[in-house]
């Protein structure tokens, strides 16, 4: 199952875990699953049907331009990180 | 606008006559009145060298010269360094040596280099760095500019014997 | 140097003359300030003399009466944004803040903040009119100190800011604050890590606000037409970003704005945000005439987007065998007037060079009464490299270990998990350290009483983002390449070379042109070290499409099927060994069907990241405290160097900017928040007399995400210099410098053992 790395600021909602395994074939599906296990989780990461402004999701180390719609693999790992720009 | 003076100067080997307010700088006149926009504005207070032109044989920052001071002067700008449609040694050396990135400081560097080579045909690296220290470049780190000036000096010595 | 068997390329790795070069050495290239349009007016701005104040009243009547004045605008003319956060290609921006930064509404938040603008027949009249605009302010205490700004009793800059962090509960708090963002990353067990350490080093670092210092000031010319179409001519790192910002600020559809890119005189991250464009557009709307506004150098310093000052506390622990076991960092950045410093990136970069089993990083984005900060070359990474690389040097000293040996032992590599979570793909950190270790420079002994040598490494992500190109085959066998990436450092050529390599033709046979937002597909900014990577991929894709079309056309000629035609090294080869060069077929295209046009896009690729390791020798004048750079060598992983001269140029330019940051550059503020050095005379960027030649070693560890292995090279070279120089100063004098810039008075004070307060 895909592994979701939990941002430290969500520890109040998801105590005792820095990584949780969640079923899902897209980032969106994984977040929905996270919400079912930890009600309120989706609102922490999403604003409506998109990621909250300033949050990027990386799947297997790569920042995805597709955001919530990014397909993920059976053993993918997901991180929610600050969006990076550049000079 | 009232208060304008007629100024006559030789610019790039041609006589130019223009109207100029006493408060206008040579830089402004070159760019806005004469459309010689190859001379660039980077700071307007003499610190960056982007507006360097050659006036009566000396390199000057045109932002610190008033337009009216050009009366009777002989001025060369980047548009006049090579009048026959080809590049001169300095221009070629900058181009071939990748001595520019954004290019905004390039005309000023080329004019300052012309002044240097007129004074010293075979400058050392230290001569070059000293002479060009009033021209700022933020992109290149100066390495390739200094090398280009060395290459230009060498090439000019070959061509002029 | 090459670290792997390199494929043999015909164009890549050569050094053709750049396509825009002749225009730039003859003065013919047109930059933003060079535009002149019929009936054009000139704009000027009124700016706040105070760092923090309420605007009580603005009286524009005297200015409006002046002959030659055509329009005056204040914040009343700028549309209200409400609570909107918009993705602007390079991150989410609070539109209320962006609008207020362009034109202050109720409050001014830094000296130089625009409060009104004028359009007149000439610039002198516009400036005189500005002087006649009366603005009444009620001054407020300025908040200038980072740590004081974070305290609960600090005056508040923005009443709508609440501290946000990734994954925290959406704020229901009423607590007003200057701390706009809080980031936290953890890996492993930090307590256990430090418990296991034999040696622990910890220091506090401060760095001053510095400016990108591009030589060309900001400029914008806009024409708001009677059909509500707005055309903008400007110097920008991203035409599509500028278009979107302008449209959003004016509450116009994005398609109503066309941005025409002029040549750009340097950006380094500072020419992404718009400042003048919406003002020029609004003045044009009022007058029906094009309006041009140029910034002065002082306006550039006081009111564009420098990079933040910072306060950092960093701690590292290692075993006695030199293995890093734990790292902890606490980092606060000055956001300036509005939120948006690169603190997130800084937190992700602080330990990025190393394989660190246990780490914790905390970061804060803090509003202060200084200009709203923006990206500057590897934003955030130079600050944290100063801290981490100084401490690494201190560990090496305590462990009596060679700094290259320590870095090789602890370097991040493929498979290393970063403290912020993700795992690295193939990267070249170790290779850059090895290159320095094996360099002539490092192998040469340095003598001299006040001389010292320092080594430091650095990391930057490099971004991917979207690019589009189109490419048309001309009947003479050349290709017209149309792209949307504004060219700051020779990218027309690096993109053209990739197209040429793929087609098997010469770089000189490609004619690249950068066009406006109506003339090419969406393209993100020239920034994040992305253009040669991402626009390069788009060009390669366009070339592949051209190859296919050329095979089809040859098949028509040879009366066969396209699958029977091969494309080989710039030639079409038919089933009966017929052979035509690209040029020969191009000459016959008129009779062979449709025009041959290739399109290419990119956007799904993420770069693997760039690393560099630097070595510097310095000599210090013990009476003046002045640090002279004697010798400098930079080794950097470029993946595959497309045009080595311009790769070297990026490395050398980045190093010298880093030297300026290290030794001279800083905003000098007084207690009222006035910058006292807003000129190039007093804000002293390096001149050619300050630096030696910068020796470059291009390391090539190809990035598998790019067909030719390209890694962006533009940003990472600025990261290591401050730390490398600090380490060299330590080697020379035995003092650890922890404050940037390491200006003579600070070095001297530290050397004499006194407090470094000015």
What is the tens place of the pLDDT at every residue in C504-526?
Answer: 999 999 999 999 999 999 999 99
DSSP H helices in C103-206: 123-131, 146-150, 190-196
Residues in chain A: 87
Chain B hits for C20, CB-CB cut-off 8 Å, are: 103
Task: Tell me which DSSP letter residue B71 carries.
Answer: T
Work out whether strand A50-51 and strand A55-59 pair parallel, antiparallel, or are unpaired: unpaired
Q: What is the pLDDT along chain B (161 residues), one digit of tens a residue?
A: 458 999 999 999 999 999 999 999 999 999 999 999 999 999 999 999 999 999 999 999 999 999 999 999 999 999 999 878 899 999 999 999 999 999 999 999 999 999 999 999 999 999 999 999 999 999 999 999 999 999 999 999 998 86
Q: How far is C146 from chain A (nearest CA, A)?
A: 22
First to last CA, chain A: 37
**Between chains, do B103 and C265 touch, taking CB under 8 Å as contact?**
yes
Q: Chain C: give the shortest CA distance to residue A58, in Å.
A: 8
CA distance B112 to chain C (A): 13
Predicted complex ipTM: 0.98
**Chain A residue nearest residue C182, CA to CA:** A9
Across the interface, of A45, A54, A61, the residue whose CB is closest to C424 is A61
For C129-166, how does the pLDDT look when each residue is reduced to its tens digit (9 = 90+)? 999 999 999 999 999 999 999 999 999 999 999 999 99
pLDDT of the residue at C463:
92
Where do the structural domains in chain B lie, given as residue ranges? 5-80, 89-160
CB C44 within 8 A of CB C123: yes
Q: Give the C-alpha distances (Å, rounded to integers) separating C509 from C333, C491, C499, C546, C592.
A: 48, 16, 10, 15, 21
**For domain C380-462+607-751, is the CATH number 3.40.50.720?**
no
Q: Are strands C134-139 and C53-59 parallel, antiparallel or unpaired?
A: antiparallel
Residue C756 has pLDDT above 70, yes or no: no
Residue A14: which CATH number? 3.10.20.30
List the Cα angle C529/C535/C540 in 5-degree steps. 130
- For the segment C442-460, the average pLDDT, to the nearest whole number, is 97
* Contact call for C91 and A80, based on CB within 8 A: no
Could you give the CA distance from residue C729 to residue C189 in angstroms, rounded to a whole number?
34
Percent of chain C with pLDDT over 90: 95
What tokens appear for C463 in the block? 């971004």
CA neighbor of A53 nearest in space, from C92, C81, C89:
C92
Contact C351, C322 (CB under 8 A): no
Asked if C91 is an interface residue toward chain A (Cβ–Cβ < 8 A), one would say yes
| Tokens representing residue C587 in the block | 């000459």
Q: Is C170 on the interface with A (CB under 8 A)?
A: yes
CB contact under 8 A, C25 and B94: yes
A60: distance to nearest CA of chain C, Å? 7
Who's near C484: CB < 8 A, 6+ residues apart? C239, C240, C467, C468, C469, C514, C515, C517, C520, C521, C522, C523, C535
Minimal Cβ distance to A86: which of C182, C463, C603: C463
* Residue C741 preceded by cis peptide, ω within 30: yes
A10 CB neighbours in chain C (<8 A) are: 167-168
Task: Give domain limits for chain C.
Answer: 21-29+464-602, 380-462+607-751
Yes or no, beta carbons of C92 and A8 under 8 Å apart: no
Using a CB-CB cut-off of 8 Å, the residues of chain C touching B34 are none
Distance from C-alpha of C190 to C-alpha of B161, rounded to nearest angstrom: 71
Of B36, B44, B105, the CB nearest to C215: B105
Structure tokens at A28: 């969106």
Identify the pLDDT of residue C414: 97
Domain covering B89-160, topology: DNA polymerase; domain 1 (1.10.150)
What's the half-sphere exposure (Cβ side, CA atoms, 13 Å) at C135?
Answer: 27
Contact (CB<8Å) A85/C342: yes
Q: What value, to the nearest 5°, has the Cα angle with vertex C221 and ends C220 and C226?
A: 135
What is the pLDDT confidence band of residue C2, given thresholds at 50, 70 and 90? Answer: very low
CB contact under 8 A, A44 and C168: yes
Chains A and B touch (3+ CB pairs under 8 A): no
Q: Which residues of C touch A5 (CB under 8 A)?
A: 421
What pLDDT is recorded for position C754?
Answer: 62
pLDDT at site C4: 56
Q: A66 to chain C: nearest residue by CA?
A: C604
CB contact residues (below 8 A), chain C span 571-610, against chain A? 603-604, 606
The answer regarding whether domain B5-80 maps to CATH 3.10.20.30 reads: yes
Tell which of C378, C421, C604 to mutate to test the A interface (max A CBs under 10 Å): C421
Residues 613-672 of C with CB under 8 A from B: 643, 645-646, 648-650, 652-657
The alpha carbon of residue C181 and the mean position of all alpha carbons in its chain are separated, in whole angstroms, by: 21
CB contact under 8 A, C183 and A44: no
Element (H, E) at C613: strand C610-620
Q: Token digits for B41?
A: 């504005």
- Contact with chain A for residue C290, Cβ under 8 A: no
A81 → closest Cβ in C87, C348, C604: C348
Q: Is C486 helix (H, G, I), strand (E, B) or coil?
A: coil
DSSP H helix total and E strand total for chain A? 2, 7
Instruction: Give strand ranges (E) for C6-145.
Output: 41-47, 53-59, 69-74, 85-87, 92-94, 107-108, 114-120, 134-139
Rounded Cα distance, B19 and B1, in Å: 10
Residues of A engaging C, defined by a Cβ cutoff of 8 Å: 5-10, 12-13, 18, 40, 43-45, 53-55, 58, 60-63, 65-66, 77, 79-87
Q: Which parts of C346-450 are beta strand (E)?
A: 358-367
Predicted local distance difference test score (pLDDT) of residue A64: 87
Q: How far is B16 from chain C (nearest CA, A)?
A: 19
**C315-342 pLDDT, tens per residue?**
999 999 999 999 999 999 999 999 999 9
Closest CA to C223 of C231, C215, C233: C231
The minimum CA-CA distance between C132 and chain A, rounded to whole Å, is 38
Condensed to tens digits (0 to 9), the pLDDT of residues C571-585 reads 999 999 999 999 999
Average pLDDT over residues C223-242: 98
From B128's Cα to the closest Cα of chain C, the distance in A is 9
User: Mean pLDDT across the stretch C362-369?
Assistant: 98
Distance in angstroms (rounded) separating the CA atoms of residues C362 and C349: 12
* Res C73 pLDDT > 80: yes
φ, ψ dihedrals at C681, nearest 5°: -75, -40
Which H helix or E strand runs over C220? strand C219-224
- How many angstroms separate the CA atoms of C681 and B43, rounded? 10
- Rg of chain B (C-alpha set): 16
Over 50: is that where the pLDDT of C301 sits?
yes
Span C438-460, average pLDDT: 97
**Which pLDDT score, from 0 to 100, does residue A17 have?**
87
Provide the pLDDT for residue B2. 58
Letter string b/e over residues C142-165, b meaning 16 or more CB atoms within 10 A of that residue's CB: bbbbbeebbeeebeebbeebebbb
**Domain residues for A39?**
3-82
Query: Considering only CA atoms, which of C666, C1, C640 is closest in space to residue C310?
Result: C666
Q: Which residues are C92's β-sheet partners?
A: C87
Q: Which fold has domain C21-29+464-602?
A: Aldehyde Oxidoreductase; domain 4 (3.30.365)
Handedness of CA C569, C575, C579, C582 (dihedral sign): negative
> Among all residues of chain A, which has the CA nearest to that of C343?
A82
The closest CB to that of C167, out of A45, A62, A84, belongs to: A45
Cα–Cα distance for residue pair C398/C320, rounded to 1 Å: 9
Q: Is A87 inside any structural domain?
A: no
Nearest CB partner across the interface for C376, out of A44, A61, A87? A87
| Cβ atoms of C618 and C732 closer than 8 Å | yes
Domain count along chain A: 1
């Amino acid at each position: 199952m895909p592994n979701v790395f939990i941002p430290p600021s969500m520890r109040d909602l998801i105590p005792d875990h820095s990584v949780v395994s969640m079923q899902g074939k897209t980032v969106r599906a994984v977040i929905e699953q996270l919400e079912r296990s930890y009600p309120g989780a989706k609102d922490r990461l999403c604003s409506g049907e998109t990621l909250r402004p300033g949050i990027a999701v990386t799947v297997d180390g790569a920042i995805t331009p597709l955001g919530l719609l990014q397909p993920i693999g059976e053993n993918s790992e997901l991180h929610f990180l600050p969006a990076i720009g550049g000079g | 606008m009232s208060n304008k003076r007629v100024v006559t100067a030789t610019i790039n080997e041609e006589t130019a006559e223009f109207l100029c307010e006493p408060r206008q700088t040579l830089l402004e006149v070159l760019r806005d009145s004469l459309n010689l926009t190859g001379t660039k504005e980077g700071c307007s207070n003499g610190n960056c060298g982007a507006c360097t032109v050659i006036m009566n044989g000396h390199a000057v920052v045109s932002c610190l010269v008033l337009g009216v001071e050009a009366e009777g002067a002989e001025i060369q700008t980047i548009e006049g360094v090579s009048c026959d449609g080809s590049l001169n040694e300095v221009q070629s050396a900058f181009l071939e040596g990748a001595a520019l990135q954004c290019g905004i400081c390039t005309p000023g560097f080329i004019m300052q280099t012309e002044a240097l080579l007129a004074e010293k045909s075979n400058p050392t690296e230290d001569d070059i760095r000293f002479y060009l220290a009033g021209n700022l470049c933020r992109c290149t780190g100066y390495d390739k500019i200094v090398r280009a000036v060395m290459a230009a000096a060498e090439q000019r010595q070959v061509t002029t014997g | 140097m090459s670290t792997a068997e390199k494929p043999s390329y015909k164009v890549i790795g050569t050094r053709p003359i750049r396509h825009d070069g002749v225009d730039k050495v003859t003065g013919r290239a047109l930059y933003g300030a060079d535009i002149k349009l019929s009936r054009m007016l000139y704009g000027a701005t009124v700016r706040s003399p105070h760092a923090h104040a309420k605007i009580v009243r603005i009286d524009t009547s005297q200015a409006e009466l002046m002959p030659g004045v055509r329009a005056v605008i204040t914040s009343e003319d700028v549309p209200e944004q409400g609570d909107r956060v918009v993705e602007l290609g390079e991150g989410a921006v609070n539109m209320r803040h962006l609008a207020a930064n362009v034109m202050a509404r109720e409050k001014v938040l830094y000296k130089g903040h625009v409060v009104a603008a004028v359009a007149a027949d000439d610039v002198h009249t516009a400036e005189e009119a500005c002087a006649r605009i009366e603005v009444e302010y009620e001054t407020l205490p300025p908040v200038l100190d980072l740590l004081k700004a974070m305290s609960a009793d600090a005056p508040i800059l923005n009443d709508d800011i609440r501290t946000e962090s990734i994954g925290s509960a959406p704020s229901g708090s009423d607590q007003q604050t200057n701390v706009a963002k809080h980031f936290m990353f953890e890996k492993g067990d930090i307590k256990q890590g430090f418990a296991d350490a034999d040696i622990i080093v910890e220091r506090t670092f401060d760095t001053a606000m510095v400016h990108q210092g591009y030589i060309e000031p900001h400029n914008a010319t806009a024409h708001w037409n009677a059909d509500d179409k707005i055309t903008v001519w400007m110097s920008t790192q991203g035409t599509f970003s500028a278009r979107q910002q302008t449209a959003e600020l004016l509450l116009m559809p994005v398609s109503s704005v066309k941005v025409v890119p002029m040549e750009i005189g340097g950006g380094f991250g500072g020419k992404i945000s718009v400042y003048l464009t919406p003002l020029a557009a609004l003045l044009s709307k009022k007058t029906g005439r094009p309006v041009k506004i140029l910034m002065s150098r002082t306006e550039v310093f006081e009111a564009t987007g420098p990079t933040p000052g910072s306060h950092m506390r960093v701690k590292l622990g290692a075993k006695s065998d030199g293995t890093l076991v734990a790292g902890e960092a606490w980092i606060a950045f000055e956001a300036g007037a509005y939120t948006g410093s690169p603190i997130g990136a800084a937190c992700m970069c602080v330990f990025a060079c190393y394989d660190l089993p246990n780490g914790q990083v905390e970061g804060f984005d803090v509003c202060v009464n200084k200009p709203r900060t923006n990206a500057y070359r590897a934003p955030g990474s130079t600050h944290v490299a100063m801290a981490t690389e100084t401490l690494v040097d201190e560990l090496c000293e305590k462990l009596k270990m060679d700094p290259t040996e320590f870095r090789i032992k602890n370097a991040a590599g493929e498979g290393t998990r970063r403290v912020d979570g993700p795992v690295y793909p193939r990267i070249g950190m170790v290779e850059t350290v090895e290159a320095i270790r094996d360099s002539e420079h490092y192998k040469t002994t340095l003598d001299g009483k006040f001389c010292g040598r320092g080594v430091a490494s650095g990391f930057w992500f490099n971004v991917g983002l979207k690019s589009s190109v189109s490419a048309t085959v001309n009947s003479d066998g050349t290709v017209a390449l149309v792209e949307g990436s504004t060219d700051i450092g020779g990218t027309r050529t690096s993109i053209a070379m990739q197209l040429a390599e793929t087609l098997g033709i010469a770089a000189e046979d490609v004619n690249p042109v950068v066009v406006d937002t109506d003339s090419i597909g969406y393209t993100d900014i020239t920034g994040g070290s992305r253009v040669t990577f991402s626009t390069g991929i788009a060009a390669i894709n366009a070339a592949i499409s051209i190859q296919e079309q050329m095979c089809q056309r040859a098949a028509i000629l040879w009366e066969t099927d396209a699958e029977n035609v091969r494309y080989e090294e710039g030639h079409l080869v038919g089933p009966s060994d017929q052979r035509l060069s690209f040029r020969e077929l191009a000459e016959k295209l008129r009779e062979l069907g449709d025009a041959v046009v290739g399109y290419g896009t990119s956007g799904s690729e993420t770069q693997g990241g760039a690393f560099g390791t630097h070595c510097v020798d310095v000599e210090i004048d013990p009476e003046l405290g002045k640090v002279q750079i004697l010798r400098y060598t930079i080794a950097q992983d470029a993946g595959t160097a497309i045009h080595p001269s311009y790769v070297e140029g990026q490395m050398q330019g980045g190093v010298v900017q880093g030297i300026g940051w290290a030794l001279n550059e800083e905003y000098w503020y007084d207690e009222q928040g006035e910058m006292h050095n807003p000129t190039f005379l007093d804000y002293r960027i390096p001149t050619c007399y300050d630096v030696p030649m910068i020796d470059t070693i291009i390391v090539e560890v190809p990035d598998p995400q790019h067909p030719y292995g390209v890694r962006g090279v533009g940003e990472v070279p600025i990261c290591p210099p401050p730390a490398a120089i600090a380490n060299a100063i330590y080697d020379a004098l035995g003092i650890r410098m922890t404050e940037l810039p390491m200006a003579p008075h600070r070095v001297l004070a530290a050397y004499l053992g006194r407090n470094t307060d000015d």
